[in-house]
A and B are shown apart, each in its own frame.
Chain A
């Protein structure tokens, strides 16, 4: 019994290759004989390393996607973008304020946005990128942090932006400002940190460090798990 797999043609950086139906772009690359050293990571759609641009047969639109998540179609033309060059401003979280003045100082390019929405169209995570940049333009840090939450920093938005904004770096700043200054504080966390600093757990940790492997294993498997 022969294991005849259905094959389709895809163009990897201009070269035609026959790959199995149902392959993701990464699988197609590897089937065609490429060994990927950059532009590959978790293979799970989470790390953002495999940003790829492609066109489907008969469609003029240039699409962006993650190579590990996008399934190939007949006649697809593919190219990877293993690295997106972008500078980050250096800032000290303790010295900046969660308001529009910080955005103006650290990311003045945000104010070049022409609301063309190309970033949103390029995003493989279905994030409303233009909307969070607009939120930053209005000084709404919390909204920007919320809308950009799913960003995996693949870089496709920054690459296609006509105003040369690096959206994901601005999103990172918004998320950090939100977490440090605007989000609700956890009283339990503050209490626990104080307990640690007061040395409540020092004795217990010292004991564990000095235990031998046999006793440690016993203690591990007999622990009580509170849910």
Chain B
């Protein structure tokens, strides 16, 4: 899929926002793909971690339309292996926070079936509520 983009100031603002929230110097990423190769969740992601970085570098807000940032389990394989020392899990967290802070909930607590609530250990519920609800 080829997409032609024109970088506007709004794109630069988006990149700045993600850099500030994540504390990572995203322009340093040279898109080598090691993060994608290491990530165990790419089987579920619509776009790879490397592509997330690329879209953020180009300030493309529609990176948040894909499911990738929601299925990152923050396991930090990418962080441990990035040759540039970048923490990609912090970038996905920044993207999640941008969405969540607009009072968005990825999971609806009221819709979780009662039997599942009873069966899941607290640690799973707390972790999911932290990462996926506002």
Direct contact of A and B (CB under 8 A): yes
Q: Assess whether B112 is interfacial by the CB under 8 Å rule.
A: yes
Of A37-45, A103-111, A214-222, the segment with at least 4 beta carbons within 8 Å of chain B is: A103-111
As a 0/1 sequence over residues 15 to 27 of chain A, the CB contacts with chain B under 8 angstroms (1 = contact) are 0000000000000
Alpha-carbon distance between A72 and B41 when the two chains are bound, in angstroms: 59
Contact: B122 with A105, CB < 8 Å?
no
Residues of A within 8 A of B133 (CB): 112
As a 0/1 sequence over residues 107 to 138 of chain A, the CB contacts with chain B under 8 angstroms (1 = contact) are 01101100000000000000000000000010
Alpha-carbon distance between A112 and B133 when the two chains are bound, in angstroms: 9
Q: Assess whether A32 is interfacial by the CB under 8 Å rule.
A: no
Residues of A within 8 A of B75 (CB): none
Contact: B114 with A105, CB < 8 Å?
yes
Specify the main secondary structure of chain B where it touches its partner.
Answer: helix
Contact: A104 with B122, CB < 8 Å?
yes
Residues of B within 8 A of A112 (CB): 126, 129-130, 133
Chain A residue nearest to B125 (CB atoms) is: A111
Instruction: Give A130 Cβ to nearest chain B Cβ, in Å.
Output: 15
Alpha-carbon distance between A111 and B120 when the two chains are bound, in angstroms: 12
Report the contact-size class of chain A (Cβ under 8 Å from the partner): 10 to 19
Q: Assess whether B8 is interfacial by the CB under 8 Å rule.
A: no
Alpha-carbon distance between A105 and B118 when the two chains are bound, in angstroms: 6
Alpha-carbon distance between A108 and B107 when the two chains are bound, in angstroms: 12
Q: Assess whether B109 is interfacial by the CB under 8 Å rule.
A: yes
Contact: A104 with B129, CB < 8 Å?
no
As a 0/1 sequence over residues 45 to 76 of chain B, the CB contacts with chain A under 8 angstroms (1 = contact) are 00000000000000000000000000000000
As a 0/1 sequence over residues 83 to 105 of chain A, the CB contacts with chain B under 8 angstroms (1 = contact) are 00000000000000000111011
Q: Assess whether B117 is interfacial by the CB under 8 Å rule.
A: yes
As a 0/1 sequence over residues 4 to 33 of chain B, the CB contacts with chain A under 8 angstroms (1 = contact) are 000000000000000000000000000000
Contact: B118 with A111, CB < 8 Å?
no
> Beyond A104-B120, A137-B122, is A111–B114 a contact (Cβ under 8 Å)?
no
Alpha-carbon distance between A109 and B109 when the two chains are bound, in angstroms: 8
> Beyond A111-B126, A111-B129, A112-B133, is A104–B109 a contact (Cβ under 8 Å)?
no
Alpha-carbon distance between A164 and B129 when the two chains are bound, in angstroms: 12
Alpha-carbon distance between A102 and B118 when the two chains are bound, in angstroms: 7
Instruction: Give B123 Cβ to nearest chain A Cβ, in Å.
Output: 9
Chain B residue nearest to A112 (CB atoms) is: B129
Residues of B within 8 A of A100 (CB): 122
Alpha-carbon distance between A137 and B124 when the two chains are bound, in angstroms: 12
Residues of B within 8 A of A104 (CB): 117-118, 120, 122, 125
Residues of B within 8 A of A105 (CB): 114, 117-118
Alpha-carbon distance between A112 and B134 when the two chains are bound, in angstroms: 10
Alpha-carbon distance between A109 and B112 when the two chains are bound, in angstroms: 12
Alpha-carbon distance between A101 and B119 when the two chains are bound, in angstroms: 7
Alpha-carbon distance between A60 and B5 when the two chains are bound, in angstroms: 49
Residues of A within 8 A of B126 (CB): 111-112, 137
Alpha-carbon distance between A109 and B133 when the two chains are bound, in angstroms: 11
Chain A residue nearest to B119 (CB atoms) is: A101
Chain B residue nearest to A102 (CB atoms) is: B118
Alpha-carbon distance between A105 and B117 when the two chains are bound, in angstroms: 5
Contact: B122 with A108, CB < 8 Å?
no
Instruction: Give B118 Cβ to nearest chain A Cβ, in Å.
Output: 4
Could you list 9 examples of A-B contacts with CB < 8 Å?
Answer: A104-B118, A104-B120, A108-B112, A108-B117, A108-B125, A109-B109, A111-B122, A112-B129, A139-B122
